[in-house]
Structures are given as structure tokens and as C-alpha cells.
Amino acid sequence: MYAEPDSREAVIAVIEVASLPRVKRSPPGLLNNLKLAYFLAWYDVRHRYARSVIGPFWITLQTAIFVGCIGFVFSAISNVSVQDFLPYFAVSFVMWNLMAGATNNATTTLLGAGGFIKDRGIAAYIFYVQCFFRHVLFLAHNIVVPIALFVFLGGTSILGIVAAIPGIIIFMLVTMCLSLVAGTLATRYRDVQPLVESLMNLAFLASPIMWKPHLVVGREYLLDFNPVVHLLAIWREPLLNGVMPWQSFAISLAILAVLALMASFAVSRLKNAAFWV
């Protein structure tokens, strides 16, 4: 039997139906979308575990092996003791992986979500948030490596960790905005994706991640004009050296402000996303 035209007008959170199951709707809006993004990200990570016996530790182990090998080689190249170099490199590398990974992944993330956007009406920005969350979850696995190194080799203090928090937050916000901007641009213009990838590779090699800043002493302009240097300094300096680099904070906040503006423009353009994918 069909229902007579509308006897129940009220829109209620709990819709009760005779033989269809009882259903609880989460109220739509930003919070619900962030939850959805988190769930999608969590399933991505679970997917990575699915076929390996050691599960979550596989992600950590990959990072540990890479950090171990490169750490020994590059501490020799840059003539720094392994004890000094390993924690420095490990923490820089896993944080850089968040920024580079989220940004590179964002350039292709929407292409796989075409069905969600066109057939289920899911807002496109959710998939960039999903991509960011996924990489934050990877970071949560990878961070074990630098933590273990700090515990065994030393190099930081509780105070240093606390002082690093504001910088880490700025670093993450920059990553979120950067991935939104790069992702949106790369989805609309398909030739942007390889460009982003090579820029991120360039930034990795040109910034003090695999090498320590003292190597370029006398040519400080190599550091001063590199935005990534400042984004790293704002949490690495307090963490490793107990110093607050205020100038780098100012530059990083300026970078964040510009990227946030660009990101909000990108989100406004994403209303056309269904035409792009």
C-alpha cells in the first residue's frame, strides 16, 4: 500500500518504520562531513593493513627501515654523529611525509570519488579532508620511530615537546590548506599534478630534512628564502634546541594566511567539482 499524501509532517531525527529498520540520522552539516571524512580515512588505513600479517606495524616498519638506512648514510655525508642526526632526520622526515603525502595525494583524490560526488551528492571538499586525515593517521603510525629514537638517544625534553605544539598545529593547518589548493587546481587542470609532484620533490631536497642547516653556512639565503625552512623551524627549533624562532613564526603565519585565503577560494570553486570528475 502506498502512503496517503503526507500525514507525518514533522522532520524528526529518529524515523520509525514498520519493517524497515529503525534509523538514527546524524544531523547534516560540517561536523557530520568531518566525521564522514574521518571514517573514509580510517577505512583507507585499514585497507593498508588488510593483507599484511603484522598489521599496523608494517607502516611503522617501512619508515623505520628508511630512516635507519638513510640516517646512517647521511650522518656520514654531513659529518654529524649518528646519535645527533637520527632523531633529527626521523622527526623531520615523518612530518615532511605528512605535508608531501597529503599534498601529492590530494591531486588525484577527487578522481576516485567521482561516483560519491555525482551519484550520492557528497560535497567534494570532504575528500580532501579525508586525504589529510589519512595522512595524519599515517603520521600517527610513523611518529613511533622518532619517539623511540628520542627515548633511546635523547635530544629533546618535555618542555621542548610542549613548546613545539603551536608550531606543529600551524604546520598541519598549512598542510591542510596546501592540499586543498593543490588538489582543487590539479582536478580542474590535469597538467598540474606532475607539477605539484616535482615541486614537492624539489622542496624535499632543497630543505633541511635529509641534511642539517649548518651545511650551508655562509649561504644563509638558501634557507631564508625557502618557505619550507620556516615551516619546519617553528616546531623543530623548540623541539630540538629549545629556542622559539619568532621570525619563522611570523613568516609561517603569513604563509598560512595566504594559503587559507586560497583554500577558501578553492572550496568555493569546488561547487563545480561534479563537472570536473
Report the nearest approach of another protein to the CB of residue 264 (Å).
17
Beta bridge partners of 15: 23
The residue within the footprint of another protein, chosen from 172, 185, 223, 229 (CB under 8 A), is 185
Rounded least distance, CB 181 to another protein, Å:
13
C-beta of 161: minimal distance to another protein in Å? 34
Of 127, 134, 126, the closest CA to residue 102 belongs to 134
Which own/partner pairs from 249-255 qualify as long-range (CB within 8 Å, at least 24 positions apart)? 249/167, 249/170, 251/227, 252/167, 252/170, 252/171, 252/174, 253/170, 255/174, 255/227, 255/230, 255/231
Complex with another protein: residue 59 or 209, whichever CB lies closer: 59
Residue closer to another protein, measured from CB, 64 or 123:
123
C-alpha–C-alpha distance, residues 199 and 184, integer Å: 16
Q: Report if residue 64 touches another protein, rule: CB under 8 A.
A: no
The answer to whether 19 contacts another protein (rule: CB under 8 A) is yes
Binding mask 101-140 for another protein (x = CB under 8 A): --------------xxxxxxxx------------------
- CA dist list (Å): 89 to 61, 62, 143, 164, 198: 16, 15, 12, 16, 21
Contact call for residue 205 and another protein (CB under 8 A): no
CA distance 277 to 275: 6
Q: With H, G, I as helix, E, B as strand and everything else as coil, classify residue 15.
A: strand
Instruction: Mark 68-107 with x for binding to another protein (rule: CB under 8 A) and - for no binding.
Output: ----------------------------------------
Residues near another protein (CB under 8 A) are 1-6, 9, 11, 15, 17-26, 28, 32, 35-36, 39-40, 43, 46-47, 50-51, 115-122, 185, 188-192, 195, 271-272, 274-276
